[in-house]
Structure 1
Amino acid sequence: MFARSVTIVARPGARAASNALRARFSTQPALHNAAPAKTKTPRVLPDFSMDGKVCLITGGARGLGNEFCRAFVNSGCTNMAILDLKQTEAEDAARELVATACLNSDSKPEDFKIIGLECDVSSERSVIKAFNETMDTFGRLDSVVASAGIVENYSAFDYPFDRIKRLYDINVHGAFFTAREAARNMIPQGGGAIVLVASMSANIVNIPQPQTPYNASKAAVKHMAASLGVEWAKKGVRVNVLSPGYMLTKLTRTILEHDRELKKTWESLTPMGRMGEPNDLAGAVVFLASDASRFMTGTEIRVDGGYCII
């Protein structure tokens, strides 16, 4: 048995009709008629924007405080006071922040009003002075981050009293002075957001390094935020806590270069198996300082790679 051979002969005009039909229903436009592809503008939740807000960050010249400054600028903030222990370092940080913001962008230096101010957060008088200068410059204050803090590692028996006092003066009293002056200026204008920077150490005991006073100071900051959050809730001032885990700041990197085993220990105790990068905190601090967290107060957000879970 032989297979039949079939030959299809197109009728006159059939090929043209077929091509027209194919073109009509094709999802791909003809190349010669193709319009240039349009670039879609990413849609962003407006509540996360820091545009139009006046921000103040203590300890903003370096470390995590400086990272918070960058996060705010990247979220649209153009009015900011950077507070740090030395005036020159605060001013240098302000200039660098503006220069970086203008790099590879349409922004110009005159678009920003970022100032650097000297402030010793352990001194009530110094904090009041810095806030007064900020209000004189901007006329209002919307978001404040109390980031200035120190950590030291001594065993309980060996910790010098003057060092313990200094640590509490900066970490605890400094956070309180900062929050109080922020609220004092925010309440008359209808409210604002305060972020106190604590640590995962407010919840756990770090090992292998001994640091009891530090851990206790951060636990105090955490509960301070809860207490102030309740006290000022009906006055429009929100107070929340950001608690970082082990972060690879410039200082931490320098320390760990001489102690590789300590780095391995910290990483092995962290479920995600790594230390955090400073910019891992950017989203959390913007969330707490912006309108996106407007129904949150007295709350802690931990960014620790899961360390406190186990």
Structure 2
Amino acid sequence: MSSRLFARAFPAPSTSSAVIPRASTSSLRSRLSPRNTNAVFGASVRWNSAVAEKARTAKFLPDFSLAGKVCLVTGGARGLGQEFCRAFLQSGCTSLAIVDLKEEEAAAAGEELVKQACVDSDMSPEDYSVIGIGCDVSSELSVQQAFRKVMDTYGRIDSVVASAGIVENYTAFDYPFDRIKRLYDINVHGAFFTAREAARNMIPVGGGSITLVSSMSANIVNIPQPQTPYNASKAAVKHMAASLAVEWAKKGVRVNCLAPGYMLTKLTRTILAHDEDLKRTWESLTPMGRMGEPEDLAGAIVFLASDASRFMTGSEIRVDGGYCVI
């Protein structure tokens, strides 16, 4: 930008009495009193809790709403997948497919999530259509059948999260081949089958959002536990998301990647209850000094699934407490 254009865009400040005086440090400190007042450019603004509560319930960015959207989550019966389902229902989704290995567990998870969604709400269980679908994501045929059930039920699909995955800890020399193959079949092939079927059904109706759940392990090497195949599988998922994003960008299908850090799921809590040293190690390596709660991912997954991220594809969002920064 030339100096002339720059001057036009940002005219010099006026010297008239309308200029807001620069507050001194002492005056700012006096304004930031325990009575919940904020100093903004020299003006004292009182925090009104009643107004804040009214704004919280009445004002929000509509693009974050999932109302009217059909969503699907693999691995949704437990762990992070279940947290994603909960976040979707809290964000207005009323048509949800929970996909997991055992159909009865997926259905039971759906019933419980609907009950929770109706607490302190004007919604009733009848307002929701949440179905549980049994599916082995490592089988292309099983994934195809799951999507067929979703399409038969809802007629469309708008947002898909590929969350199903496993992790195991063996040294590279000791890792059994059949376990490596199973891990890749679920983590990598399962993500690919899920994304491909999602896109096949999204493109005819104008597109949609696909989120592949990777891990911060796609970017770093975890210590002290050995998990080379897992780390490599998540790196593959990250690059898969970027590659599919480019391939389907002009077809209206967005593909992004969510990369969680260490999260305190029920399973992780059980493991760490018997290994406090490992928990302390993980926390000490995380700049925020703690492990994440599953609900810490809610905002990110809703953002990626909703229209709020409409111009975002091929990207990764890391939610790791700063682990990968250092």
Please classify the TM superposition score into its range, dividing by the shorter chain length.
0.7 to 0.9
Paired residue secondary structure (1:89): helix
In structure 1, C-alpha distance between the alignment counterparts of 2:235 and 2:285, rounded to whole Å? 20
Paired residue secondary structure (2:96): strand
- Tell me which residue corresponds to 1:124: 140
Q: Which amino acid aligns with 1:223?
A: H
Q: Which amino acid aligns with 2:221?
A: V
List per-residue Cα deviations over 1:86-145 (Å, max 9, x = no partner): 011011011111111112221111100000000100000000000000000000000000
- Tell me which residue corresponds to 1:16: none
List per-residue Cα deviations over 1:265-300 (Å, max 9, x = no partner): 000000000000000000000000100000010000
Q: Which amino acid aligns with 1:181?
A: E
Paired residue secondary structure (2:289): coil
Give runs of aligned pairs for residues 237-276 of structure 1, distance below 5 A: 237-276=253-292
In structure 2, C-alpha distance between the alignment counterparts of 1:190 and 1:103, rounded to whole Å? 34
- Tell me which residue corresponds to 1:185: 201
2:241 counterpart (225, 230, 233)? 225
**Is 1:139 matched with 2:146?**
no
In structure 1, C-alpha distance between the alignment counterparts of 2:224 and 2:264, rounded to whole Å? 18
- Tell me which residue corresponds to 1:235: 251
**Is 1:56 matched with 2:72?**
yes
- Tell me which residue corresponds to 2:83: 67
1:40 counterpart (25, 50, 54)? 54
Paired residue secondary structure (2:245): helix
Q: Which amino acid aligns with 2:279?
A: K
2:319 counterpart (299, 303, 306)? 303
**Is 1:281 matched with 2:283?**
no
- Unpaired segments of 5 or more residues in structure 2? 1-49
Paired residue secondary structure (1:40): helix
- Displacement, 1:41? 4.0
Paired residue secondary structure (1:145): strand
Q: Which amino acid aligns with 2:54?
A: K
List per-residue Cα deviations over 1:4-55 (Å, max 9, x = no partner): xxxxxxxxxxxxxxxxxxxxxxxxxxxxxxxxx8872431001000000000
- Tell me the TM-score normalized by structure 2: 0.83
Size of the alignment, in residue pairs?
274
Q: Which amino acid aligns with 1:228?
A: L
- Tell me the TM-score normalized by structure 1: 0.87
List per-residue Cα deviations over 1:118-174 (Å, max 9, x = no partner): 010000000000000000000000000000000000000000000000000000000
In structure 2, C-alpha distance between the alignment counterparts of 1:109 and 1:272, rounded to whole Å? 38
Paired residue secondary structure (1:158): coil
In structure 2, C-alpha distance between the alignment counterparts of 1:272 and 1:99, rounded to whole Å? 33
- Unpaired segments of 5 or more residues in structure 1? 1-36
Cα root mean square deviation, aligned: 0.9
* Greater displacement, 178-187 / 39-48: 39-48
Q: Which amino acid aligns with 2:159?
A: S
- Tell me which residue corresponds to 1:8: none
Tell me the percent identity.
Answer: 80
* Greater displacement, 151-160 / 93-102: 93-102
Paired residue secondary structure (2:210): strand
